[in-house]
Chains A and B, each alone.
Chain A
Amino acid sequence: AQSVTQLDSQVPVFEEAPVELRCNYSSSVSVYLFWYVQYPNQGLQLLLKYLSGSTLVESINGFEAEFNKSQTSFHLRKPSVHISDTAEYFCAVSKGSGNTPLVFGKGTRLSVIA
């Protein structure tokens, strides 16, 4: 079975500062990895995903995540955050594509301070 650990439940950071949200996973098989973002009072939005190929994946709003197989990690980073990035971020893993359930971490609340 897969599991996801997000060690930081809350991360406060000043505007324009860099941020890293940590995600580690455990699995006995190859996995696909995802980051979802949940803005206040909204649903989950897919931020980025790793399925195969380049281990560095990027989103359209400046976030990036790097798949590190040896460290079983998929940390999310952004070099300069904005107030609008304040949200809950969930790391998720699945053991396949298509009809394979996602296993979510507990989430990290990113609070950007002006």
Chain B
Amino acid sequence: EPEVTQTPSHQVTQMGQEVILRCVPISNHLYFYWYRQILGQKVEFLVSFYNNEISEKSEIFDDQFSVERPDGSNFTLKIRSTKLEDSAMYFCASSTATGGLFFGPGTRLTVL
């Protein structure tokens, strides 16, 4: 069964450093997303991506964040200068046009 994959599973970084979280969506999906879950809190939408551009973004997704689909398979989330409050589990997801997102296993980002 096809699945969304994410690397790395755990990323530890120093405050102020740049990080890139990587995702490989399901191959025939056209819509891509990033969500995050701060420990003990709800899952929050960050950004959606379709046809090589951002479709929608939340207020969390400020200028420190960017997304890219550098080739036909990868979908990346970059945080330019990490802050302590960026520590969270980051989930990538993909979907077709008919609803129901399929999530990856997540990347746990720890900012020290």
Q: Which residues of A contact B (CB under 8 A)?
A: 32, 34, 36, 42-46, 49, 51, 90, 92, 94, 96-107
Contact = CB atoms under 8 A, between A and B. Distances in A.
B45 A102 contact: yes
Given A101-B33, A101-B56, A49 B45 contact: no
B48 A51 contact: no
Interface string B71-112: 000000000000000000001010111111111111000000
Please tell me the size bucket of the interface on B: 20 to 34
A49 B56 contact: no
Q: B55, B58, B96, B103: which has the most chain A beta carbons within 10 Å?
A: B103
Nearest to A90: B43
A44 B43 contact: yes
Contacts of A34: 99-101
Contacts of A106: 41-42
Interface string B44-55: 110010100001
